[in-house]
Copies of this chain bind each other. A is one copy, B any other.
Amino acid sequence: MYKVKVFVTLKNSVLDPQGSAVMNALHSMNYQDVQDVRIGKFMELSIEASERNIDELINEMCQRLLSNPVIEDYRYEIEESVPK
């Protein structure tokens, strides 16, 4: 069993209106030191080990469903967890 953490972020060249809204909200709450906010997604997947290569599997899932490769980047971390 693998625990996979996937981080999906907007590419740097893509505007992030949600991040701007959060930054404005923080400024209006008097957190003036915040210079920039970018918002992405964080996914935790539990994947049963199989004969398929886990990196290949995750890359395929990220490209086909979990991220939009046109405007988003992704990266991931794999933790192997021993089944109880």
Tell me how many chains of this kind the complex includes: 2
Minimal beta-carbon separation of A23 from chain B (angstroms): 8
A35 — which chain B residues lie within 8 A by C-beta? 1, 46-48
- Interface size of A in residues (CB-CB distance below 8 Å): 34
Q: Is the CB of A31 within 8 A of B44?
A: no
Q: A22-B66, A64-B29 are in contact. Are A7 and B46 (CB under 8 A)?
A: no
Q: Is the CB of A39 within 8 A of B42?
A: yes
Q: Is the CB of A33 within 8 A of B50?
A: yes
Q: A22-B66, A43-B39 are in contact. Are A33 and B48 (CB under 8 A)?
A: yes
Q: Point out residues on A near B: beta carbons under 8 Å.
A: 1, 7-9, 19, 22, 25-26, 29, 31, 33-50, 52, 57, 61, 64-66
